Structure 1
Amino acid sequence: MTEFFQVVSLEEASQILKSNWPSPVAECVDLEHALGRTLVSEVVAAEEVPPFSRSTVDGYAVLASDVYGASEGLPAFLTLTGEIKMGSHPASGINSGECMWIPTGGMLPDGADAVVMVEHTERLDTDLILASRPVSLGENVIRVGEDCRIGDSVLPAGKVMRPQDLGVCAALGVTSLEVAAPLKVGVISTGDEIVSIDSNPGMGQVRDVNSYILAAALK
């Protein structure tokens, strides 16, 4: 009597695997070891990013209303009151008619609501700046909390961590993550014709190739 293999569809096979798949075991790893790992718990922002409003260009922090309508033919004149240092809080704020030099990433001083790019300005004196382009409210500025706010879910459970995801965690001060422990998988290559790869196959025999392919693919 002829024997036939009993087969199932791909969908049925997938369902069998899912119904017998073990629940993930969680473990805590340092952030630098989380690349490629699967999150067990979501990452929720405990602080705002960025934590302060900052400039996206080199230029001058201004009030947008002070340079409204500015052009090369009719520029706006501003009094330079100081310079903002990277990594430091501005020593003072600015008032109407004033500006402060600010580098890319520098903290916006109180009173300022936009930044004029340095390419659109000219320094006429030690404390006199000419602006030849207008800027709109918030132009060239990243506002506090623009990337994420306290309580935002930034990375969902089940996400496989990528390099940029590690960067998100670093920005939030997250030093460790709860991830799924690596699965332990056994590969068994069966068949009377299979011999080890260090053997000389006899007639009708083949070296064990599939176990090496599958083991490498699982990694």
Structure 2
Amino acid sequence: MATVMGVFAHPDDETFIAGGTFARLAAEGHRLVIACATRGEMGRRLGVPLRATRESLGALREQELREACAALGVSRLVLLGYRDKEVEMVPEDEGVSRLESLFAEERPDAVITFHDPLGGHPDHAAIGRLATSAFARYRRMNEGARLFYLAWGDDLAAFRRYPQPAKALVEVDVRAYRRQKLLAFRAHRTQSELDGAIWGSEEKAVHRMRHCEYFVLSQGPSLRRPGTLTD
């Protein structure tokens, strides 16, 4: 079985964009590790009704992240401890070295992160840039490892315009794992309570979720099987 690591900026990134894929990988027996750069303490949503203050939001979102990871089958959560909305200020040598050490410890077969600049949010782009540099170092001794970028929404369309090798865009069917993704969505209460459809009928909420999630293979060997991030 493979080890798959996600490197993200905020609590909920792992769920909203790739939760179905993580749930599928866990069900298939793979080990999942999530590294989260911040606790999302500067997020604008505080819950509906209010569940947090600006001072307490970070601790609450950390707890929500732990509950979401449990719902998705994540084996290990690593909190990097950077300040929300300041990831781009992390010294490059420090950030890259820290992730490189984490990669060396966990020896992931696949790493998922944000693309710089297609990640959108500055924190997304920054953590993606650090993870990409760390992965390039890690892969010198792990040639079979793969780096994937998240692709969704407008960014998915942008990726499709980017020059890239054939079959670089990977479409993962997550229809059978949308219930686990919904549970993780609901764990992130402060961020999801404004979306009434998530908190209505469970059946309707499940069917409302996307059937597929998308990734772009950036580094590493071509996949031997379509529709998956592991061989």
Interval of TM-score (by shorter of Structure 1 and Structure 2):
under 0.3
Q: How does the TM-score come out when normalised to structure 1?
A: 0.22
Q: Quick check: which one's helix share is greater?
A: 2
Whose radius of gyration is greater, 1 or 2? 1
Q: Structure 2-normalised TM-score?
A: 0.21
Question: Which one has more relative contact order, counting CA pairs under 8 Å at least 6 apart?
Answer: 1
